[in-house]
Amino acid sequence: GLPVTLKLTAGQAHDGRSADDMLATIGPGQTLLVDAAYDSNRLREHLAEIGARAVIRPIPRRRDPPPLDRDACRRRNRIDRFFSKLKHYRAIATRYEKHDANFLALVKLAATRIWLRVYESVT
């Protein structure tokens, strides 16, 4: 449930198309667990080529949906909880910073604090 890579995109940008450069962090034997916005045959084929597993909830209007590992899909809740923790930071929830670079810096700073909070509780 903790971020590995963060990227800021325009609100109208399609998630599946904007994720291409972030897929470099996925390797063989790893699992990509994303929501239905990323559902595409191209993404599934790319992950299969590199030996990674795709757990992507199919979009409802898909005619022949691929099988879904429901147990793995339930773990997506961790990702949603991270975004919920991120929204606890008022400057992020209300988007005080209007410049993209400044806003992304605030998101990364908040994500770092969330990471540190997790590691402090472990040690």
HSE-CB of 29 using CA atoms within 13 angstroms: 0
What is the rounded distance in angstroms from the CA atom of residue 38 to the CA atom of residue 76? Answer: 13
pTM, entire model:
0.70
HSE-CB of 4 using CA atoms within 13 angstroms: 7
pLDDT at position 123: 65
pLDDT at position 14: 67
pLDDT at position 6: 79
What is the rounded distance in angstroms from the CA atom of residue 51 to the CA atom of residue 30? Answer: 8
Contact assessment for residue 32 and residue 26, using Cβ atoms and an 8 Å cutoff: yes
- Series of mean pLDDT values for 10-residue runs along the chain (123 residues): 76 68 83 84 89 88 86 84 90 89 92 87 71
pLDDT at position 67: 85
